[in-house]
Structure formats: C-alpha cells, structure tokens
C-alpha cells in the first residue's frame, strides 16, 4: 500500500517526539530517585494535574495559548532562513501595550472599559510588538546585523522598559507589585468559569491557522519559504529576499504581541504585569522549544504547545501533592523539555548545513559558468 510522503514524515516526527519524551521521563525519574523522591508518585500527580480532569485540562490549554504564538514567532523566522529569538521582548511589548490601554481606561477614558477596550488593547500590543520586530528586521536587511544579536539586545531593552513603566508609570496605587489591572469590561471572556482558560486560546488557534494558510496556501508564504530554502535561487526567481525577511519578522512580532496582550487581558487573577514580569518571563523562549518539537510547522506547533502546557500544569501538581521541591520540579521539567527539543534541534542544524552546502554548490557553479563565458 502506498503511503503519502507527508504521512510518512508526520509519523516519523511523531515517533521521534515519543522516543524523546520517553527518554526525558526516564532521565527525570532517575534524577528524582537518586535525590530521594518517588518518581512514580510524582509523575502520577503530574498526569492528574494536567489532563485527567476538566480543571486540569483547562490549565493545560491556558498555558498552551501563549507559547503557541511565540512558537509561531520562531517558526516563521526559521522558514525565512532566520534565527529569530525576539519573541520574549516582543511579548513584553505586547503586554505593555495592553496595560497602557488599561491605564487609559482607569484614567478617564471610561469608554475603554468595554469590548472596544479589548480590541484597542490587542491592537496596541500588536503595534508595540511590531515596532520591536521591525527594528530587528531593519537592522538585518539594512545593516546586516545578525538577528540573534539584535533580538537579544531588544529583548533586554523591552524587559527594562516594561519594568520601568510598571514601577513608575502604570503601577497600581493599591498594589505596587503589579501594574493597573485591565478593567472588567475589557477583559477577554473566560471559556470555563473558575479557571484561567480565556478566549486568548481562540486567538492563538486562529492566528496559528492563519499562519498555516499564509505559509502553504498564499503566494507570499511560498516566496517566504523559497527565500529561506535558497536565497540565491529565490533572487534569480524575482523574489525579494529582504522583503520576505521583513515579512517574517512582522508576522512573528504580531504573534508575540498577541501572546503578551492575551496574557494581560485573559489571565486571572491579576489581569496585569507583575513584579519582575514574573507572569510573562520565559514564555518567548518556551516558544522556541514548542517550535522545535512541532518541526516549525503551524499544525505541529498546536500539538507541541499542548504538550508543553501539560508539563507546566502538571509541574504544580508534582510540587503540591508529591511534595517535590520547586527546584527539583524545574530540573525534571527542564530535562523533559530539552529531550523533546533535541530531535527538532538536530533537524534544524542539519537543514542549515544542507542549505550552506547547497548555496556553496550554486555559487561555485555560477562562477564556473561566468568563467566559461568570459573565455568564450
């Protein structure tokens, strides 16, 4: 029986993920056992706290929502031949944009305490994040600054700018540990009462599916992927590689901005940015793991984000019910996530190596043809 190639590839990647997950679980179990904790009991509570009841499942999905979008940020960059690690800073700017609208709503613009305020907060978050993405894009295409360097610098600028605004400008006068909260009328509705699962999940799913359509069913997406696979061949085909890089940065920035704004607008109980950006920190970098597990494909990222969300939700159960210290929980969680990311990382390294070799062959062939033409 003939099996389509895309089915074989999907099954292969699924098998790689399953093996990596099993390896991570075994290594984590060994670490807990050597440290004097019961790995069977710890993993039982991890499972119970992530998927085995309705509340646990909603927590898993709520944790999946932001990393789904930051995974898109990284994946779109990879498809364009970029290593964009700027989701963290762009997420901060998205959250700051939403808080600025909340601050305006509580400072006299009462009409923003409504669904209009929700839309305004999302747009403000996307706008600020897009400025951050555009800065990295222009540094890349105009000055040749490597995106890893520029996005790391921009991440730190975004962190301290947001923290400065939290402390000195948009602080809550009744609770200095956070910014002002989003007013009730402008918050994203909860999908299940008494949980943290809000409509931000629907925004994440919608934008992820839009990205899939863009990359695989629209001309700009084809050109973006072509530019990433072979920039020289893309230029010969009339594609502006620089324009595709800018597009990739902007699409990724919109995704990260929506993630940051969604966390502020839809995450109870604070609906705000907390001290040290503790409710946001790491979500951008978690997206890199999600993208690698999902093979940098939007549909794969959906499943990968749920898996990472389950680990985050279950980690709390390990700490509370199995009495595993937070530090040990973080070690086990990190081991499992690293194991899950290994296959995707290896694929990414091999793909970049293949592209470099292919580009070198094309350049060599081009120079040979030019030399032959000049002799003729």
Q: Show the low-confidence residues of the chain (pLDDT under 50).
A: none
Residues facing 274 on adjacent strands = 178
pTM of the model: 0.89
* Lookup: tokens for 269: 């109980």
CATH number of 55-324: 1.10.3470
CA pair distance 227, 53, nearest whole angstrom: 45
CA 362, CA 369: separation in Å to the nearest integer? 11
Q: Residue 365: what pLDDT? A: 66
pLDDT at 135: 98
Q: What tens digit of pLDDT does each residue of 296-306 get?
A: 999 999 999 99
Residues pairing with 190 in the sheet: 198
Residues pairing with 179 in the sheet: 171
* Domain segments of the chain as ranges: 55-324
For the segment 104-132, what is each residue's pLDDT rounded down to a tens digit?
A: 999 989 999 999 999 999 999 999 999 99
The sign of the dihedral angle between the CA atoms of 218, 70, 93, 316 is positive
Q: What is the pLDDT of residue 368?
A: 63
What is the rounded radius of gyration, in angstroms, for the C-alpha atoms of the chain? 22
> Residues with Cβ < 8 Å from 16, sequence gap 6 or more?
343
pLDDT of residue 21: 84
**Per-residue confidence (pLDDT) for residue 376, from 0 to 100:** 55
pLDDT at 330: 84
Whose tokens are 């990879």? That residue is 78
């Amino acid at each position: 029986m003939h099996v389509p190639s895309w089915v074989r590839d999907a099954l292969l990647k699924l098998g790689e993920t399953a093996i990596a997950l099993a390896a991570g679980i075994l290594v984590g179990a060994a670490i807990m056992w050597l440290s004097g904790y019961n790995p069977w009991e710890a993993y039982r509570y991890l499972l119970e706290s992530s998927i085995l009841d309705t509340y646990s499942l909603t927590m898993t999905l709520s944790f999946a929502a932001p990393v789904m979008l930051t995974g898109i940020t990284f994946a779109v960059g990879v498809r364009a031949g970029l290593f964009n690690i700027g989701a963290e800073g762009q997420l901060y700017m998205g959250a700051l944009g939403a808080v600025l609208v909340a601050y305006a709503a509580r400072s006299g613009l009462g009409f923003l305490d409504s669904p209009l305020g929700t839309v305004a907060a999302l747009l403000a978050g996307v706008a600020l994040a897009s400025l951050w993405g555009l800065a990295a894009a222009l540094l890349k295409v105009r000055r040749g600054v490597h995106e890893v360097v520029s996005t790391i610098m921009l991440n730190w600028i975004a962190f301290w700018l947001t923290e400065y605004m939290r402390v000195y400008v948009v602080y809550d006068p009744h609770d200095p540990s956070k910014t002002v909260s989003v007013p009730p009328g402008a918050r994203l509705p909860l999908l299940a009462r008494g949980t943290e699962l809000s409509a931000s999940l629907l925004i994440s799913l919608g934008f992820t599916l839009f990205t899939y359509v863009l990359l695989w069913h629209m001309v700009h997406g084809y050109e973006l992927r072509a530019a990433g696979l072979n920039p020289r061949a893309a230029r010969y085909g009339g594609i502006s590689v620089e324009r595709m890089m800018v597009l990739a940065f902007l699409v990724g920035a919109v995704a990260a901005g929506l993630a940051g704004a969604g966390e502020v607008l839809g995450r109870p109980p604070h609906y705000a940015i907390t001290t040290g950006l503790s409710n946001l920190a790491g979500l951008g970098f978690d997206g890199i793991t999600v993208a690698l597990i999902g093979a940098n494909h939007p549909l794969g990222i959906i499943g990968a984000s749920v898996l990472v969300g389950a680990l985050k939700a279950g980690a709390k159960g390990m700490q509370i019910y199995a009495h595993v210290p937070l530090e040990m929980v973080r070690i086990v969680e990190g081991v499992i996530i690293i194991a899950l990311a290994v296959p995707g990382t290896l694929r990414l390294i091999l793909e970049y190596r293949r592209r470099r070799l292919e580009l070198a062959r094309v350049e060599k062939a081009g120079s040979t043809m030019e030399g032959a033409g000049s002799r003729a």
